[in-house]
Structure 1
Amino acid sequence: MIFSLHHVIDSLAGMLTGAYPDYPVYDSPNQQGTSFPCFFLFFIPSTIEEHVGNHYFRDLGVDLVFVQQRNLVNGNRKIHEIAEFLDRNLDPFPYTDGSGESVPVPVQDQQWSIEDEELHYQFHIRTRILVEETENLMQEMEENNVGIKEND
């Protein structure tokens, strides 16, 4: 299975649209044409550490932002509902790389806050990955019919 940032975004977006099908999920800030309410997915500072062999430890920080119209009556109620949904369903979330296979990926350090009437739900995905080396295999073998001359 291939672990990539693009597939992480797609997997999280799939989980969110499964529960909230009318709320679009964006992976970049929209300046125009944003439909509210909606979700934004951002990566926050992340690290990669090299381990033994071709193994790496990847710590991805994610900020999932829920945005709705400003100054709504009972606007915090929807924010709390989304936060509770994420608390219950995010760990683990189903990750897929598009091959049809899905694996549960645990998240850590979940925390959420409300800033400017927006929910910021932040968490980390910590995983070890293996980067396979490509071997340069011999394509063709050349035959060499050279003999050894013996001295008489």
Structure 2
Amino acid sequence: MKFTLSTVARSLAAHLSGNFPGVTFFEDPNQQGSTVPCMFLQQRYSNLKLQTAGRWLRTIGLDLTYLEDYNRPDMQRLYQEVAETLDLVMETFPYTDGADTGALRTYEREWRIDLDALHYKFEIRVIVHLPEPYNPMRTMDYKEDVTDGG
């Protein structure tokens, strides 16, 4: 499987659309011309840690942002309802890159309500292999002959 922000965003949108009818999903922050309610996904960080047998643990921090009309009198309650729904459906979600499918587990889930948005932050952790051929070490041809300077 290939992991990109685009494929994660599409997979999340497909997973969440049944729980949030009428919500528009965007792949990234779309400030102009967005109709609310809407959600978009932002990558906050990513890191790699070497594992055994040439595998890498990739940790990707994501922020799923939910926006609603700023002037609603019940905005706080609405954001809390959305956050609680996300808590129920975000432990795992089906993932596809177009060719392969599987399930991704989320970690470190937390949410925060700002004045104008709900931020649902979480991590995904996947074991990856670097594309072949990948060899960061280069070999050098050493001449081991000893000369006496002559």
Which TM-score band (shorter chain)? 0.7 to 0.9
> How many angstroms apart in 1 are the aligned matches of 2:3 and 2:29?
24
How much has 1:102 moved relative to structure 2? Answer: 3.3
- On the 8 A contact 1:54/1:132 being kept in 2, the answer is no
How much has 1:118 moved relative to structure 2? Answer: 1.1
Secondary structure of the 2:81 match is helix
1:55 maps to 2:51: no
Quote the residue 2:34 is aligned against. Answer: 34
Secondary structure of the 1:18 match is coil
How much has 1:130 moved relative to structure 2? Answer: 2.1
Quote the residue 1:123 is aligned against. Answer: 122
Aligned residues: 134
Amino acid at match of 1:50: L
Matches within 5 A, 1:71-82: 71-82=71-82
Deviations 1:46-89 (A, max 9, x none): 11223344311100000001100113121122211111111011
Q: Give the TM-score of the pair, scaled to structure 2.
A: 0.80
Unaligned runs of 5+ in 1: 135-152
- On the 8 A contact 1:56/1:129 being kept in 2, the answer is yes
Quote the residue 1:18 is aligned against. Answer: 18
Quote the residue 1:85 is aligned against. Answer: 85
Deviations 1:17-71 (A, max 9, x none): 2322311111222232110110011000111223344311100000001100113
- On the 8 A contact 1:9/1:27 being kept in 2, the answer is yes
Q: Give the TM-score of the pair, scaled to structure 1.
A: 0.79
> How many angstroms apart in 2 are the aligned matches of 1:5 and 1:31?
18
- On the 8 A contact 2:9/2:41 being kept in 1, the answer is yes
- On the 8 A contact 1:63/1:123 being kept in 2, the answer is yes
> How many angstroms apart in 2 are the aligned matches of 1:89 and 1:133?
36
- On the 8 A contact 1:76/1:117 being kept in 2, the answer is no
1:102 maps to 2:101: yes
How much has 1:14 moved relative to structure 2? Answer: 1.2
How much has 1:132 moved relative to structure 2? Answer: 4.9
Which runs of 4 or more aligned residues in structure 1 lie more than 4 Å from their structure 2 counterparts after TM superposition? none
- On the 8 A contact 2:6/2:27 being kept in 1, the answer is no
- On the 8 A contact 1:43/1:63 being kept in 2, the answer is yes
> How many angstroms apart in 2 are the aligned matches of 1:52 and 1:18?
39
- On the 8 A contact 2:60/2:125 being kept in 1, the answer is yes
1:46 maps to 2:78: no
Secondary structure of the 2:57 match is strand
Unaligned runs of 5+ in 2: 134-150
Structure 1 vs Structure 2: percent identity of aligned residues?
A: 35
* CA RMSD after TM alignment: 1.9
